[in-house]
Chains A and B, each alone.
Chain A
Amino acid sequence: EVLHEPKDEL
């Protein structure tokens, strides 16, 4: 599971 939210968006 991914622990942190992906902040790879703009």
Chain B
Amino acid sequence: MNAFRLAGDMTHLLSIILLLLKIRATKSCAGISLKTQELYVIVFMSRYLDLFRTYYSLYNSLMKIIFLGTSMCIVWYMRSHKVVRQTYNNDEDTFRHFFLVLPCFVLALLVHRNFTFIEILWTFSLYLESVAILPQLVLLQKSSNIDNLTGTYVFLLGAYRGLYLFNWVYRFFTENHRVRWIPWLSGLIQTAIYTDFFYYYIRSWKNREKLKLPA
């Protein structure tokens, strides 16, 4: 495993830890999109189906279990925890899952490498992950008060796939793999969606201002 990949995974892990920390410490999920979190549960469930079928490494299996467990834990907090759920921005988190899940599933049925159950779900998970942040970004645009933890959470979540792009470039030149259009393009689109957010996040950090996204 190269440094980009490890940095990407650690960034991803850190973003989740930060979100759980925010929820547990402040007993609030204000500014967090339940839609995005639920999409992540779908992403992880469809991608990590191979968890009990193919063994890669202890690291790989552990990380998959952590991502599955924490994503479900976050959704549980937002939906069922009696204090946390009252802080959820129900009225502003209006993006519909359906409009992302259905097109991604149809696309996975049309564009994939092999027509097998596992492969279609794996492809679907990559397509869905690339757009899963959209409800969160829409919610942030509507929020006038984005707290630091939420801003940094989204930043780390975006940076993770960006680091994977470097990892893919590195692997392409150092390993004997073929061109992998599906993860590469999905990852590129995923990172591109964050571009605007990155710009405003870094600007607010440099100027020591509160983060605010233009509507």
A5 touches B56 (CB 8 A): no
> In the complex, what residues of B have CB within 8 A of residue A7's CB?
50, 54, 56, 122
B176-201 contact mask (Cβ, 8 Å, vs A): 1 or 0: 11101001000000000000000000
B162 to chain A, nearest CB (A): 14
Chain A residues 1 to 10 lying within 8 A of chain B, measured CB to CB, are 1-2, 5-10
Residue from A2, A5, A8, A9 having most chain B Cβ neighbours under 10 A: A9
Q: Which of chain B's residues has its CB closest to A3's CB?
A: B178
Partner of A10 from the list B9, B122, B180 (CB cut-off 8 Å) is B9
Number of A-B contacts (CB under 8 A): 30
Q: Which residues of A contact B177 (CB under 8 A)?
A: 2, 5-6
Bound form: Cα–Cα A9–B129 in Å: 14
B12 touches A2 (CB 8 A): no
Which residues in B have some Cβ–Cβ distance to A below 8 Å? 5, 9, 12, 50, 54, 56-57, 60, 63-64, 67, 113, 122, 164, 167, 175-178, 180, 183
28 contacts between A and B (CB under 8 A): A1-B176, A2-B175, A2-B177, A2-B178, A5-B113, A5-B177, A5-B178, A5-B180, A5-B183, A6-B175, A6-B177, A7-B50, A7-B54, A7-B56, A7-B122, A8-B56, A8-B57, A8-B60, A9-B5, A9-B164, A9-B167, A9-B183, A10-B9, A10-B12, A10-B60, A10-B63, A10-B64, A10-B67
- Give bound CA distance, A6 to B182, whole Å: 12
- Lowest 7 A-B CB distances belong to which pairs? A8-B56, A10-B63, A2-B177, A5-B180, A2-B176, A10-B9, A6-B177
Cα A9 to Cα B59 with chains together (Å)? 10
Which residue on A lies nearest to B171, using beta carbons? A6
Q: Tell me, rounded to whole Å, the shortest Cβ–Cβ distance linking B106 to chain A.
A: 21
- Nearest Cβ distance between residue A1 and chain B, in whole angstroms? 7
